[in-house]
Amino acid sequence: MHHTPSEENYIKCIYHLQYNTEKVSTNMLASTICTKPASVTDMLKKLQSKKLVNYEKYYGVKLTDTGNKIALDVIRKHRLWEYFLVNTLGFNWTKVHEVAEHLEHISNKELINRLDDFLGNTSVDPHGDPIPDQKGKYKTIRQSCLSEVPMRQYVCVSSIKNQSSQMLDLLSHYNITIGTKIKVIRRFEFDGSAEIKINKSPLTIVSELVAKNVYCTI
Amino acid sequence: MHHTPSEENYIKCIYHLQYNTEKVSTNMLASTICTKPASVTDMLKKLQSKKLVNYEKYYGVKLTDTGNKIALDVIRKHRLWEYFLVNTLGFNWTKVHEVAEHLEHISNKELINRLDDFLGNTSVDPHGDPIPDQKGKYKTIRQSCLSEVPMRQYVCVSSIKNQSSQMLDLLSHYNITIGTKIKVIRRFEFDGSAEIKINKSPLTIVSELVAKNVYCTI
DNA sequence: TATTTTTTTTAGATTTGTCTAAATATTTGT
DNA sequence: ACAAATATTTAGACAAATCTAAAAAAAATA
């Protein structure tokens, strides 16, 4: 069965929002998709009738199993294309998201599987997020953010939570990417900032907001 | 300025039809786009109002200079993706057209220019068609079809006119691709067929229809 | 609990691209 | 040149995805 780009966007968005909250609200969807609540209601009715979501008026929405599969498939495509854009075409990782938003809606199994093989069946995208396989399975890595990681020991940056281009710009400035080695030297209770060593450069300070969005493996 | 995939398809289609006929008719467009004449009329009015075509009621349609540029840009994207699908991902050349029909509508200059560089700024796609550069310029190669090419001398297959999957299937069967060396041994007036030698294989016969659609450089 | 505020839904309109059926223009054949 | 056939356009409708404004439900607050 085929789904429109718009349907796929709603499904993907519900999937991501479900990570934090059990049931997803109309307003949450409207603000992340940048549309009006009325439009969301319309689309939820449509997705409901296609049995891709369980939607209860005034209550909230959840993905069905079918909806979940579709979400994982779109996410798989998105992340494979991001990997391709960065590692094959040499894009800056701060710029790939927008292009991948278009590429992810092209549905051709042979295309995606060949792309996957060409990229070496990688399991992690350029932002450190796991890439689901054909069946929607993916590995989760045990990781903690810089404000929770043990001090005075090198940890390895494994993913970025807030992936806004503003955030990625700042990380570029710090020279932090996936794989960078970081050691937390001190934490300041006053504002939650942290003094860190990035690779072998001199010490710097990152704000609490940054520390809470950079995830590492120990 | 941005154009919808549908607009781009009409423009591309008018471009290709203009290759043979000065003015393009509503019915020709309808049958190649697989839509109804009434829909074509609607779209032509729209493209007219955007100054992408010159359209005269009951007469026909031509691309304006702006329209021409858009056509060449879409064709550039289409052919670059086809090259990518065949040469990077290993697709069979008979299967790439459909996927490229989707990829061609993604408009991101950095994407296309990086793709072009990655592919080595190739000037010819897997079907032997020239790939326009950023400015819409491309090289035309002097070529003739198998029914016009001089006999008893090897010529090199350089492009295929009819690119239907049926045609490409048949060429696969003959083991004919771009670059194949062919020598015409005899031509039969009765049905326009030709006896040919393909590379160093034993002699075979191709129909007039095939002979008229396989182009070669001498 | 009653009132206010916020959230969500409904009703009705709009745009894009398509369609069918009918009307009109053009071309063809005799 | 005139009738028949063909091509093209118009008129009106529809589905998808969105919007605004108003109504209804739920949540927050005094």
Q: Integer distance in angstroms from CA A24 to C1' C3? A: 28
Q: Integer distance in angstroms from CA A58 to C1' C2? A: 22
Q: Give the model's pLDDT for residue B78.
A: 97
Asked if A111's CB is within 8 angstroms of B106's CB, the reply is no
Compute the mean pLDDT over every residue in chain B, rounded to the nearest whole number: 94
Q: Integer distance in angstroms from CA A70 to C1' C5? A: 37
Closest nucleotide to A35 by C1' from CA: D18
Q: Give the model's pLDDT for residue B52.
A: 97
Assigned token pair, A138? 């993916």
Asked if B98's CB is within 8 angstroms of A102's CB, the reply is no
Q: What does the pLDDT look like over A140-167, one tens digit per residue?
A: 888 999 999 999 999 999 999 998 889 9
Least confident of A108-112, A137-141, B78-82: A137-141
Closest nucleotide to A33 by C1' from CA: D18
Neighbours of A120 (CB within 10 A): 9
Apex B100 CA angle, B99 and B101, nearest 5? 90
Write out chain A residues lying below 8 Å of B113, CB-based.
none
Return the SS3 of A127: coil
Closest nucleotide to A45 by C1' from CA: C9
Write out chain A residues lying below 8 Å of B98, CB-based.
108
The percent of residues above 70 in pLDDT, for chain B, comes to: 100
Q: Which long-range contacts (CB under 8 A, 24 or more apart) does B32-41 make?
A: B33/B9, B40/B10
Q: Flag whether pLDDT at A200 surpasses 90.
A: no
Write out chain B residues lying below 8 Å of A90, CB-based.
114, 118
The 8-class DSSP code of residue A84 comes to I
Confidence of residue A97 (pLDDT cuts 50, 70, 90): very high
**A186 close to A203: Cβ distance less than 8 angstroms:** no
Chain A residues near any Cβ of chain B (below 8 Å): 85, 88-91, 95, 98-99, 102-103, 106, 108, 110-111, 114-115, 118
Asked if A114's CB is within 8 angstroms of B91's CB, the reply is yes
Q: Flag whether pLDDT at B39 surpasses 90.
A: yes
* Residue from B98, B108, B116, B119 whose CB has the most chain A CBs within 10 Å, to mutate: B108
Q: Integer distance in angstroms from CA B42 to C1' D6? A: 20
Confidence of residue A55 (pLDDT cuts 50, 70, 90): very high
Question: From CA A95, how far away is CA B110, in angstroms rounded?
Answer: 10
Q: Flag whether pLDDT at B165 surpasses 90.
A: no
Residue A120: closest CA among chain B residues belongs to which residue? B89
Compute the mean pLDDT over every residue in chain A, rounded to the nearest whole number: 95
**Three-class secondary structure assignment of chain B:** CCCCHHHHHHHHHHHHHHCCCCCECHHHHHHHHCCCHHHHHHHHHHHHHCCCEEEECCCEEEECHHHHHHHHHHHHHHHHHHHHHHHHCCCCCCCHHHHHHHHCCCCCHHHHHHHHHHCCCCCECCCCCECCCCCCCCCCCCCEECCCCCCCCEEEEEEECCCCHHHHHHHHHHCCCCCCEEEEEEECCCCCCEEEEECCCCCEEECHHHHCCEEEEC
Q: Integer distance in angstroms from CA A97 to C1' D24? A: 39
Residue B118: closest CA among chain A residues belongs to which residue? A89
Q: Flag whether pLDDT at B218 surpasses 90.
A: no
Q: Integer distance in angstroms from CA B83 to C1' C30? A: 54
Q: Give the model's pLDDT for residue A128.
A: 87
The percent of residues above 90 in pLDDT, for chain B, comes to: 88
Q: What does the pLDDT look like over B117-162, one tens digit per residue?
A: 999 999 999 988 999 999 999 988 889 999 999 999 999 999 999 8
Q: Provide the positions of strand C that have an atom within 7 A of a protein CB.
A: 7-12, 16-22, 25-26
Q: What does the pLDDT look like over B64-121, one tens digit per residue?
A: 999 999 999 999 999 999 999 999 999 998 899 999 999 999 999 999 999 999 999 9
A58 Ramachandran zone, left/alpha/beta (phi>0; psi -120 to 50):
left
User: Number of CB pairs < 8 Å for A and B?
Assistant: 38
This prediction's pTM? 0.86
Question: From CA B86, how far away is CA B114, in angstroms rounded?
Answer: 17
Mean pLDDT on A115-133: 95
Write out chain A residues lying below 8 Å of B89, CB-based.
111, 114-115, 118
Closest nucleotide to B26 by C1' from CA: D8
Question: From CA A187, how far away is CA A185, in angstroms rounded?
Answer: 7
Closest nucleotide to A60 by C1' from CA: C8
